[in-house]
Structure 1
């Protein structure tokens, strides 16, 4: 019979922090404080009756993310214990892609993605972002008002990523709607997962028949010899992982910029780079707040907590960011080491530079076209989408002097 320490026994009796509650979206920091009060690893629920360990300490997070012998990314042992209609399954279900793979399979999948992304030239990606911004501003610019979430950040990512993945602009609304449902993990999660899955299947079917200058075609032709099914699941991962967190990164950064007029003026004057605002979000309000899910291969003691096998162990990038802000304020860390928003270890984000380029170019281009942006609501009155995984605004209403992208005086 296994004997646990008093601390481990007490932890097993702790009331889980409910990350699925509406209150979590309203004030996540109160929930993070409750988790951190439990120690380096808290006890939570991702959905009603779905428990998880949540890592809120930086050292514990780094140990977890680098320990591939103790922890696996494969959710199938856990998945076998939960119902098929679980709302969070869309974000946690096993698929044959790099996110849910270990060992040689993970290296094989990850290599194909790195190679495919390496073929994207920065100047080409910048041009795609500029084209998308121009298209969106032409829609709402003449009105003098807009919602920078629903009319800019989210459709912008759908346009850019559709372009990279070889789909037409008229499919962008469909992509955006499906991913939004799946990410929230609520009643429409299964519907969103099915819609998104159908979207990706149609794309791969078209590229299997006829190649193009796009990421799916590069994956299909990669020397690693991925099957069409394997390519489907790499695209399922990368299209979603590129769209949703990057859209949230842009909208969260814009809300912080516009909520601080002095800060905004330094950006529009060129005295301070937009990259600073993007990095502030990654440090203090990271868009993918709770993910990096692992599973102990066997019961194990880890940072004072007895971790059961086949129970999700979630890295709370949001709690880590909150703790860093409390401890260090706005101080900088060499090499941008003050956050783990890109994760760490073998599963660290392979598309960090393209993501930063998309976010900074989108914000720079928008603020160049519309330098007089003003928020309609103070930042404290903005509302956030529910869900345990992300930090995502529902809307960011702004007003500005009406203009068209074709007017003289805009960016060249």
Structure 2
């Protein structure tokens, strides 16, 4: 195969290693290194696993809207990857809406959208409030907490267990398994296995006895999904909904608490929590590098020769850093809920349930600050640490303190 001259230079450049610990600690320098290569950079997602990374907004939109040239199906790529690769849990082909194209993708996506449309906003708000109340009541009397391990992650486990139809007692299984898959480290394979067992148990329970939950609605959908197909749609939605939403909440809380003036406007009600959530989506998105595509055949894309069956990753994180730098240099104002970011992706594979995600995140933060209006960070934001992995932007912890209180003396509204 013959490569254009610019392709030779591209492939001779050192790949930016997104799997390193340094990426989690200082993503900006890694994104700068990628952007220095042009709109499409050269990276490694794991040792010896190359990928192209799109860091330019125009290039990202071109890719996301072109279904003729690009596919979401990774099966040809998988043939070249060791079966124990730590990133397979996030990239392996499955019969669900994310990893399929064409009519099959439309069928799966419609089933998911229709099921989530049955979740009324007021009902989802109540579920979030109940979960926050359980967690806040458990830590309110101590005066200290870690808002990652004791709030954001267990909150999502409680909410999504409830939405998909399992009791609160199963939430720890979900939380631990998804975290291991997302980290993409040594425990990723074990996490994927645990996550699979959790979902098989869930679908089996709902197949035996329906309920008012997403799993039951998928099983009864008019499109007639098989139990196996339902299993893989649930696998996708739990994975895509749980960990990124937990990180959205903790990332937003870290920004809020790291700026006392910002926090005071939120707790007083003069500034909506949505501002902080959208700020995170724009500049520090929880799913930093994903939207993975594969060229259907070798092609030139924004000046780079792209081989088939090599992952092409959208760096939402790099796009966010670029937008933040541009905003810092501009005096122009912007509506806080504008759609300038691409955290929801774009095109046929854009997130179908973004309004549900926004509601969960904003209600969770608002309810927590009603319970504990005097939250104070114990670690300066610039000293917080982040979990390693090429895909996410995820805090390891967010320690806070507050005046201890009993449940009867909390500020939570009934």
TM-score, normalising length from structure 1?
0.98
Match of 1:89 in 2: 88
Question: Equivalent residue for 2:254?
Answer: 255
Alpha-carbon shift at residue 405 of structure 1 (Å)? 2.9
Query: 2:306 matched to 1:312?
Result: no
Check conservation: 1:292, 1:315, Cα contact below 8 A: yes
SS at the partner of 2:225?
coil
Change (3 A) 1:409 1:17: closer
- 1:26 pairs with 2:25: yes
What is residue 16 of structure 1 aligned with on the other side?
A: 15
Q: What are the superposed Cα offsets for residues 233-286 of structure 1, whole Å, 9 maximum, x if unpaired?
A: 000000111100000000000000000000000111111000000000001100
Q: Choose from 352, 357, 360 the match for 1:358.
A: 360
Report the 3-state secondary structure (helix = DSSP H, G, I; strand = E; otherwise coil) of the residue aligned with 2:200.
Answer: helix
8 Å CA contact 1:219–1:226 kept in 2: the answer is: yes
- Alpha-carbon deviation of 1:368? 0.9
Instruction: Flag structure 1 segments of 5+ consecutive residues without an equivalent.
Output: none
Deviation at 1:305, TM superposition (A): 0.3
Alignment partner, residue 301 of structure 1: 300
> Which stretches in structure 2 are left out of the alignment for 5+ residues?
none
For 2:371, the equivalent position in structure 1 comes to: 369
SS in 2 for 1:167: coil
Aligned counterpart, 2:338? 336
SS at match of 2:162: helix
| Structure 1 residues 131-173: Cα deviation after superposition (integer angstroms, max 9, x where no partner) | 0000001111100110000000000000000000001111111
Alignment length, in residue pairs? 411
- SS of the counterpart of 1:336? coil
**2:63 maps to which residue?**
64
Q: Which runs of 4+ in 1 moved over 6 A?
A: none
Residues 3-51 of structure 1 deviation map (CA, whole Å, 9 limit, x = unaligned): 51x3222101111000000000101111000000000000000000000
1:346-382 Cα deviation digits (max 9, x unpaired): 0000010000000000000001110000000100111
Question: C-alpha separation between the residues in 2 aligned to 1:275 and 1:125?
Answer: 17
Structure 1 counterpart SS, 2:140:
helix
Matching residue of 2:101? 102
- 2: distance between equivalents of 1:280 and 1:334? 8
Deviation at 1:287, TM superposition (A): 0.3
Q: Distance in 2 between matches of 1:366 and 1:406?
A: 15
Residue aligning to 2:175: 176
Answer yes or no: is the 8 Å Cα contact 1:332–1:338 preserved in 2.
no
User: CA 1:314–1:408 in 2, change beyond 3 Å: closer, same or farther?
Assistant: closer
Asked if the contact 1:342/1:349 (under 8 Å) is kept, the reply is yes
CA shift digits 1:41-65 (9 cap, x unpaired): 0000000000000000000000000
Q: Displacement, 1:337?
A: 2.5
Q: Quickly say closer, same or farther: Cα 1:357–1:79, change in 2 above 3 A.
A: same
CA-atom RMSD in angstroms: 1.1
Whole-angstrom distance in 2 between the partners of 1:117 and 1:18: 37
CA distance in 2, matches of 1:133, 1:277: 19
Q: In the alignment, what sits opposite 1:291?
A: 290
Distance 1:3 1:125 in 2: 53
Are 1:235 and 2:237 counterparts? no
Q: Deviation at 1:209?
A: 1.2
**Pair 1:385-2:387 in alignment:** yes
TM value normalised by structure 2: 0.98
Shift of 1:226: 0.4
Give the aligned partner of residue 2 of structure 1.
2
SS of alignment partner, residue 287 of structure 2: coil
User: Could you tell me which residue of structure 2 aligns to residue 44 of structure 1?
Assistant: 43
